[in-house]
Amino acid sequence: GQNIDQPTEMTATEGAIVQINCTYQTSGFNGLFWYQQHAGEAPTFLSYNVLDGLEEKGRFSSFLSRSKGYSYLLLKELQMKDSASYLCAVRDRAGNMLTFGGGTRLMVKP
């Protein structure tokens, strides 16, 4: 089975940096994904990690440590539009299905 934990809520200031952590315990592992979801909208893909290390994509970066079962999403130069839920998801070794954590609601304040 899969167990994925992430903080429920976070608040940060416009222009700042925020790190959203995700820990997981899985029976198998075949990649970790981060999605962004604005209220009432579809989740959209942000990043994918399957090997240890940091993946950078513009203002967003994602880090993975497989030995620790740990990932984080780093958001730089926060903008008001970054206020959303951020979902951590793990794919098991068997197939394509993703298991999602409960999501972290990020509020960016002026």
Partner 1 sequence: NAGVMQNPRHLVRRRGQEARLRCSPMKGHSHVYWYRQLPEEGLKFMVYLQKENIIDESGMPKERFSAEFPKEGPSILRIQQVVRGDSAAYFCASSPPTSGRGGELFFGEGSRLTVL
Q: How far is CA 21 from CA 8, 26, 52, 96, in A?
A: 11, 16, 15, 23
Among 19, 27, 28, 50, which residue sits at the site for partner 1 (rule: CB under 8 A)? Answer: 50
Among 53, 81, 96, 110, which residue sits at the site for partner 1 (rule: CB under 8 A)? Answer: 96
| Closest CB to partner 1 among residues 37, 110 | 37
Q: Which residues have a Cβ under 8 Å from the Cβ of 1 and sit 6 or more positions away? A: 26, 27
According to the binding rule CB under 8 A, does residue 31 interact with partner 1?
A: yes
According to the binding rule CB under 8 A, does residue 97 interact with partner 1?
A: yes
d(CA 81, CA 96): 30
According to the binding rule CB under 8 A, does residue 102 interact with partner 1?
A: yes
According to the binding rule CB under 8 A, does residue 101 interact with partner 1?
A: yes
| Closest CB to partner 1 among residues 76, 105 | 105
- 11: burial class by Cβ within 10 Å (0-12, 13-18, 19+)? exposed
Size of the residue set binding partner 1 (CB under 8 A): 23
